[in-house]
Structure 1
Amino acid sequence: MDCSCSTFVIGICFRCGISADKSRTAISLCAKVFIWTVFCVVVVTLVSAYIISHLQMYLPSLHSATRSNVRDMILEIQVRNTTVLTPRPDACEACFSHNFKYVIDNNVMCKLYNDSQEIDLIIFIFTTHQHQQERNAIRQTWLNCTNKNKANIRYSFLLGEVPDENIRKLVEEENKIHNDIIKEDFVDTYQNLTYKTMMAFKYAITKCPHAKFVFKTDDDVWVNIPGLLKVIQREKMTLQTAVGGACFHGANPHRNLDSKWYASFQSYPHDSYPGFCSGTGYVTSNNVVNKIFEISKNVPFFHLEDVYVAICIRKLGYRLHKIAGFNNIRPSFDPCLYKGDNLITSHEVPPEMLISYWNTTCTR
Structure 2
Amino acid sequence: MMKTKFPGSIRCRCSLLQVGFLTLLTSAVLLLYYVKLIEVSKIWSEMDRIMKKTTFTTETAALNGYLGASGLQWTPSALPGKPCQPETTYLVAYPCKYHYILNELERCQNEKPFLVLMVPVTPNNREARDAVRTTWGSEKMVMDKVVSLFFLLGQPGHEGREEMQQKILQESEEHHDIIQSDFLDSYKNLTIKTMVIMEWLATYCQNATYAMKIDSDMFLNVNSLINMLLQAPRKNFITGLVAIGAAVSRDPSSKWYLPKDVFPADFYPPYALGLGYVISLDLPNKLIEGAKHVKAVYIEDVFLGLCMWYLRIPLTNQTDQSLFNYFTVPYNRCRYSKLIATTTHSLQDQVNFWKELKKPGPHCQP
- TM-score w.r.t. structure 2 length? 0.69
Instruction: Output one character per residue of 1:201-244: Cα deviation in whole Å (capped at 9) or x when no partner.
Output: 1111110110111111111001110100111112225xx22310
Relative distance call for 1:296 and 1:358 in structure 2 (3 A) is same
| Mapped partners of 2:163, 2:85: distance in 1 | 21
Cα distance in 1, alignment partners of residues 165 and 260 from structure 2: 36
Aligned equivalent of 1:287: 282
For 2:182, the equivalent position in structure 1 comes to 185
* Deviations 1:225-266 (CA, angstroms, capped at 9, x unpaired): 0100111112225xx223101001111111212211122223
Inter-CA distance 146–321: structure 2 relative to 1 (3 Å threshold): same
Higher helix share: 1
Partner of 2:218: 221
1:119 maps to 2:116: no
Alignment: residue pair count? 275
Match of 2:353 among 332, 350, 357: 357
For the pair 1:202 / 2:199, whether they are aligned, the reply is yes
Does the CA contact (< 8 Å) of 2:220 and 2:342 recur in 1?
Answer: yes
Corresponding residue for residue 172 of structure 2: 175
Match of 1:296 in 2: 291
Report the CA distance between 1:165 and its aligned residue: 2.1
Q: Using the alignment, how far apart are the partners of 1:279 and 1:122 within structure 2?
A: 16
Instruction: Report the equivalent of 1:317.
Output: 312
**From 125, 129, 132, the counterpart of 1:138:** 132
Quote the Cα distance in structure 2 between the aligned partners of 1:332 and 1:134.
21
Give 1:63 deviation, angstroms. 10
1:131–1:179 distance in 2 versus 1, CA, 3 Å: same
Does the Cα contact within 8 Å between 2:238 and 2:277 map onto a contact in 1? yes
Distance 1:318 1:198, change over 3 A: same
Please identify runs of 4+ aligned residues in structure 1 that moved more than 4 A.
60-66, 78-82
Q: Is this contact kept in 2: 1:275–1:310, CA < 8 A?
A: yes
Decide whether aligned partners of structure 1 residues 97 and 81 sit closer, same or farther in structure 2, where only a CA change above 3 A counts: closer
Paired residue type of 2:102: I
Residue matched to 1:211: 208
Match of 1:332 in 2: 330
Q: In 1, are the aligned partners of 2:77 and 2:95 still within 8 Å (CA)?
A: no
1:332 & 1:267 partners in 2: Cα distance?
39
1-structure distance, mates of 2:364, 2:95: 52
Distance 1:277 1:248, change over 3 A: same
SS of residue in 1 equivalent to 2:114: strand
- Secondary structure of the equivalent of 2:330? coil
Q: Which whole-Å CA distance do the structure 2 matches of 1:348 and 1:269 have between them?
A: 34
Query: Which one-letter code corresponds to 1:291 in the other structure?
Result: K
Relative to structure 1, the CA distance from residue 131 to residue 63 in structure 2 (aligned partners, 3 Å threshold; closer, same or farther) is farther
* Residue 83 of structure 1, CA deviation: 3.2
Asked if structure 1 preserves the Cα contact closer than 8 Å seen for 2:217 and 2:344, the reply is: yes
Q: Which has the larger radius of gyration?
A: 1
Q: 1:22 maps to which residue? A: none
Q: State the secondary structure of the residue aligned to 1:155.
A: strand
* SS across alignment from 2:324: coil
When the two chains are superposed, the root-mean-square deviation of aligned CA atoms in Å is 2.6
Unaligned stretches of 5+ in structure 2?
1-75, 358-362
- Any gaps of 5 or more consecutive residues in structure 1? 1-59, 67-73, 89-94
Amino acid at match of 1:352: Q
> 1:136 is aligned with what amino acid?
D
| Structure 1 residue identity aligned to 2:110 | L
